[in-house]
Amino acid sequence: MNPGSVHADENVARLLITCADQPGIISAVSTFLYHHGANITDFDQHTSDLRDGRFFLRLEFQLPGLQQNLDSLRTTFSERVAAQYRMEWSLTPSSEKKRMALMVSRHDHVLMELLWRTMRGDLPAVIPMVISNHDDLRGEVERFGIPYHHIPVQGDDKAAAEKKALELLDGQADLVVLARYMQILSPDFVAAYPQRIINIHHSFLPAFVGANPYQRAWERGVKLIGATSHYVTEDLDQGPIIEQNVARVSHRNSAEDLKRLGQDVEREVLLRAVRCHLEDRVIVHGNKTIVFVK
C-alpha cells in the first residue's frame, strides 16, 4: 500500500509489460501476483485499437521479502505468464537506483540540475561519471565526488572519442543522459544503449529540427518557445518523445532572452523525462512513448 513515493520501500517493485492485446492478460498477471503474496497498489493499463491492439501496463506491488524472492519471481513469471502472451516486460524493485551517466559540453544548466537533484536524494539514481568533450565543468562535477572524464572530439578522431567513451561506460551505466552534449552520436554508439540514451533538444520538436533553434524561433516570431526530451535514435532529433513543454515569449524578448528563458524549460523538461525513465514509467513502442504519469 505504498503510494510509490521517491523514498522507496524495499518491498515494492514495478512491472512494465507490453504485448499484443487479447482478453485475459490482466487476469493472468494479477492472479499470478496474488498467488505469490503481492498486493498491487497502483495499476495503469491501456489498450488502443489505433495501435493495432497493443497492450501496455505499468503496475506497482508490495511483496514482503521481495529481495530474497526476486529471482524466482522473475523466472516463474517468465515461464507461466510472459511466455504465453509473448510479453516484453521488466520487473524492477523500486529501491534499485539506476546508474545514470551524464554527457555534457559547455552549458551547465541541465547538468547542475541533475547533479543537485540526485545528490539530495530527489532523483532515484546514482551518477557513475560525467563525460565531456570540454574540460570547463570539471570543478563543478568533481566537488560532488563524481569522476569527470574529458574526451576531446576534434575533426576525424570522433570515432576514437566515442570508442573511449564506450569503454568508460561499459558495465557502468544503465542510462546515458545527454545534458546538452553538442556532438551527434554515431549509430554504433546509439545501438549500444537502445532506448537508454535520453537527449534534450532546445526546441518544441518537430519545429526547428537541427541547429540554432532559438535564433530561428526568434526570426519566425513564435509566441511560445519549447524544449523536447527524447530517446536518441539513429535519426537526428527524430527519436521517441518523452516530454515537452513551452514558455511564453513576447516582442520584448531578444534572441538572447529566448535562449535564457529556454534553458529553464530545457532544465525542467529533461528532469521530468529522466524522472519518468528512472521510475520505470516509460514504454517505447515504435517511434512513440507510453508514459505512465503519476
Binders of a copy of itself in range 167-206 (CB under 8 A): 204-206
Q: Which of 42, 92, 96, 195 binds a copy of itself (CB under 8 A)?
A: 42
Q: Which of residues 22-41 bind a copy of itself (CB under 8 A)?
A: 22-24, 26-27, 30-31, 33-34, 37-41
Q: Which of 151, 155, 246, 262 binds a copy of itself (CB under 8 A)?
A: 246
**Cell (9 digits) for 164:** 573511449
> Annotated catalytic residue: which of 136, 174, 237, 280?
237
Which range touches a copy of itself (CB under 8 A), out of 74-82, 147-155, 172-180, 252-260?
A: 252-260
237 is catalytic: yes
CA-based R_g, the chain, Å: 21
Nearer to a copy of itself, 82 or 205 (CB): 205
What is the helix, strand, coil percentage profile of the chain, to 5?
Answer: 35, 30, 35
Is residue 291 within the footprint of a copy of itself (CB under 8 A)?
yes
Q: How far is CA 64 from CA 43, 89, 101, in A?
A: 19, 22, 32
Distant-in-sequence, close-in-space partners of 252: CB < 8 Å, separation ≥ 6:
none
- How many Å apart are CA 240 and CA 229, to the nearest integer? 9
Q: Which of residues 200-239 bind a copy of itself (CB under 8 A)?
A: 204-208, 220-224, 226
Q: How far is the CB of 75 from a copy of itself (least distance, A)?
A: 21
**Any alpha helices (H) in 124-229, and if so which ranges?**
138-142, 158-169, 187-192, 213-220
- Which residue type, as a one-letter code, is found at position 99? R
Q: How far is CA 192 from the centre of its chain?
A: 15
CB atoms within 10 A of CB 250: 7
Nearer to a copy of itself, 51 or 74 (CB): 51
Nearer to a copy of itself, 123 or 169 (CB): 123
Is residue 2 within the footprint of a copy of itself (CB under 8 A)?
yes
